[in-house]
Amino acid sequence: MINVTKSYLPDINRFKYYIDKIYDSGWITNNGELLRNLEDKLKDYLGVDNIILVSNGTLALQVAYKMLSLKGEVITTPFSFVATTSSLVWEGLHPIYVDIEEETLNIDPDKIESSITANTSCIVPTHVFGNGCDIEKIEYIAKKNKLKVIYDAAHCFGVNYNGSSILNHGDVSIISFHATKIFHTIEGGALIVNNEEYFNKAREMINFGFNNGKVIELGINAKMSEFQAAMGLCILDDIDEIISKRKKTYEYYQKCLNRKSIKYQVINNKCSMNYCYFPIILKSEVELLKIRDKLIDNEIIPRRYFYPSLNTLPYVKNCSVMISEDISRRILCLPIYNSLERCEQDRIINIINNNIS
C-alpha cells in the first residue's frame, strides 16, 4: 500500500546513541539537554532568533492566543487543517472566515478589511502547503487596524520569504513537528515569538506559568520530552537529503502528469519551497472521486487535504466562502515522501493520466 505520506524514521543506531544519553543522565523531560541542543540547532538551521519547542503544533496555537490575550473575533482562513479553527474555538474565540485566493490557496488579503469589526482581535492566516501568504498586505492591514497576527506556519519548515525565514513574521508564527510533517519529533511543534517580553511569557506559559519555581501566571503543560528531542536531532541531520529527495519527486510529478486538465497551486515568488505536499486541483468533485477511487483500487491512498472547508464544521457558525468550498471539493494530495520509489510514482502517474478526462 502506498499512503499519502510515510513518516521518516532515521537510522536506529543514531537514535539509540541519543537514547543512551537519556538513560545515562536519567533526565527524560523538563527542558533537558537534548531539547536545548535541538533548540540551538533549529535556530541556526531555520534562521530564527528564538524558538520555543512544545508538545504539538495545536498547543502552540493555543498558547499563542492566550499569550496575546485574544478576545472576541479572529479572522482566519477556511482552507486549512482543522486545528487552525478548533484551537480558536477551544480557547473561546470566534473564527470569522475570509475566503481564499483561487491561485495561491491562501487567505485573500483584499477581503480581510471588510470582515473587521470592533470585536476583532487578531488575524490567523495559514501559509497553505508551505506557500507564503501576502505578508506585506496582511501586516499593513493589521497595523492599520491594531490587530495581532499569528501565522499558522505548520507546513513551513525551512521556508524562506524574501530570503530569510518566513517564521520571523507576525507577532507569533507556529510550526508543527508532527510525524506527518517533513521535519518531525514524533509529536511536537514550536512557537517563534518576535518580541522579547512575549517570548519570556510564552516560556512560562508552556510550563504551568512557572518562573524561577514560582507560579506567576496562568499556564499549561506543553513541554516537549527528551525522547521527542532525540528524534528531532536525528532527523535534522538528514533534512537536506529529505528535502532534495522530495524536490525530485515533486518535479517528476509536474513533468509527467497531464497538465492540461490539472491545476496547481501558484507559489508566491518571494517564497522558497520545501515540497511538503503535492496537491492537484481537478476539474470537478466527480472527477476527483473517480481518480481517488481508481487509486484506492490500486492500493494507493491519496488524501483530500483540506476537505471539507472549515466554515462547514459542526461547531462553527456557517457562512459561505465560495472559493474555499469549491477548491476543497476538487483538491487531492498525492503521495510524496522520502522512500517513495520512482516505479511507484510511475504507477500513480499512469493511473491519473489514464483516467483524467
Ligand X SMILES: *Cc1c(COP(=O)(O)O)cnc(C)c1O
Q: Which is nearer to ligand X, 211 or 312 (CB)?
A: 312
DSSP track, 216-242: -S---B-PPPHHHHHHHHHHHHHHHHH
CB of 305 to ligand X, least distance (A): 8
Q: Does residue 277 touch ligand X according to CB under 6 A?
A: no
Q: Does residue 80 touch ligand X according to CB under 6 A?
A: yes
Q: Does residue 131 touch ligand X according to CB under 6 A?
A: no
DSSP, collapsed to helix, strand or coil, labels residue 93 as: coil
Residues labelled as active-site residues:
181
Cα torsion at 346, 349, 354, 357 (round to 10°)?
A: -170
Interatomic CA distance for residues 22 and 289, integer angstroms: 48
Q: Which is nearer to ligand X, 62 or 345 (CB)?
A: 62
Q: Does residue 265 touch ligand X according to CB under 6 A?
A: no
Interatomic CA distance for residues 41 and 19, integer angstroms: 18
Chosen residue from 50, 58, 249, 324 binding ligand X by CB under 6 A = 58
CB of 156 to ligand X, least distance (A): 10
Binding residues for ligand X, how many (CB under 6 A)? Answer: 14
Q: Does residue 81 touch ligand X according to CB under 6 A?
A: yes
Q: Does residue 86 touch ligand X according to CB under 6 A?
A: no
Which of the ranges 40-48, 81-89, 230-238, 344-352 carries the binding residues for ligand X, by CB under 6 A? Answer: 81-89
Q: Does residue 303 touch ligand X according to CB under 6 A?
A: no
Which of the ranges 50-58, 132-140, 222-230, 254-262 carries the binding residues for ligand X, by CB under 6 A? Answer: 50-58
Interatomic CA distance for residues 40 and 46, integer angstroms: 10
Which three three-digit cell numbers place residue 278? 503535492
Chosen residue from 178, 245, 246, 330 binding ligand X by CB under 6 A = 178
Chosen residue from 5, 50, 76, 84 binding ligand X by CB under 6 A = 84
DSSP, collapsed to helix, strand or coil, labels residue 279 as: strand
CB of 88 to ligand X, least distance (A): 11
Q: Which is nearer to ligand X, 178 or 201 (CB)?
A: 178
Q: Does residue 279 touch ligand X according to CB under 6 A?
A: no
Determine phi and psi for 234, rounding to 5 degrees.
-65, -45
What's the gap between Cα 270 and its chain centre?
18
Reported as type and span, the H/E element at residue 39 is helix 33-46
What b/e string do you get for 18-49 counting C-beta neighbours within 10 Å, with b at 16 or more? bbebbeeeeeebeebebbebbbeebeeebebe
CB of 7 to ligand X, least distance (A): 12
Q: Does residue 56 touch ligand X according to CB under 6 A?
A: yes
User: Angle 57-67/82-90 helices, nearest 10 degrees?
Assistant: 40
Residue nearest to ligand X (CB): 57
Q: How far is CA 183 from CA 3, 22, 53, 228, in A?
A: 18, 21, 13, 12
CB of 296 to ligand X, least distance (A): 23
DSSP 3-state helix, strand, coil percentages of the chain (rounded to 5)? Answer: 45, 15, 40
DSSP, collapsed to helix, strand or coil, labels residue 334 as: strand
Q: Which is nearer to ligand X, 127 or 345 (CB)?
A: 127
332 and 282 Cβ atoms separated by less than 8 Å: yes
Q: Does residue 154 touch ligand X according to CB under 6 A?
A: yes
Q: Does residue 65 touch ligand X according to CB under 6 A?
A: no
Q: Does residue 160 touch ligand X according to CB under 6 A?
A: no
Which of the ranges 29-37, 103-111, 152-160, 222-230 carries the binding residues for ligand X, by CB under 6 A? Answer: 152-160
DSSP, collapsed to helix, strand or coil, labels residue 210 as: strand
Which of the ranges 147-155, 235-243, 277-285, 312-320 carries the binding residues for ligand X, by CB under 6 A? Answer: 147-155
Report the interface residues with ligand X, using CB under 6 A: 56-58, 80-81, 83-84, 126, 152, 154-155, 176, 178, 189
